[in-house]
Amino acid sequence: VEKVADFPNAANISGLAYGDNCLFYTIKDTGEVFYYDLLTNQSTSLGYLYTYTGISGLAYDQVNNLLYVVGGFYLYQFDVSKLVGGELNMSSGTYLDADYCTLQTVACVDGSVYYTGASINDSRVKLVRMEDKYLSSREVLVDGLEISSVAGKSEMSYDSASGLFYMTDAGDRLYT
């Protein structure tokens, strides 16, 4: 483990996503999103993300230059090129989960968006894929994922080299 830099607001981060030589991160309670340049070690505020609920997770789609956040029953999409620092930024797309799952984690793979959510009916965790940036094609890949994920306490990321998702759960465990 190597310290890269002092990271402002690290204890208050609600989402972290890797971009092109940068990190995007959101701050709990405010919805402010930052761009952290890994080459200069500088953070720049990209403004505030308008959501109906708090933010539980963040992902960056490098193919389409979009940020995705999850919170409550919703998946939100923000066009990075249109974010304005100091302003309240509206989403370019919002999706209400068809099964009213409480969305917990989000990751992007080759232009597709994947998220997990706990069903409002029986708390079963689902892994869902949205095929493209238009949020038009929803597919439940796994219904009953055997993990103890909780919104705001779980994270998900994808490793393109291995083709695996990595997830943490509320019990401090890591899964692939």
Q: What is the pLDDT of residues 134-165, one digit of tens each?
A: 998 999 999 998 888 777 778 888 888 888 88
Q: Is the pTM of this model over 0.85?
A: yes
Tokens of 13: 């981060």
pLDDT digits (tens, 9 = 90+) for 81-96: 999 999 999 999 999 9
47 and 87 Cβ atoms separated by less than 8 Å: yes
Q: How many CB atoms lie within 10 A of CB 154?
A: 22
Tokens of 36: 């952290």
For residue 139, give the nearest of 108, 114, 168, 109 by alpha carbon. 114
- Is pLDDT at 62 greater than 90 in this prediction? yes
Residue 64, pLDDT score = 96
- Is pLDDT at 17 greater than 90 in this prediction? yes
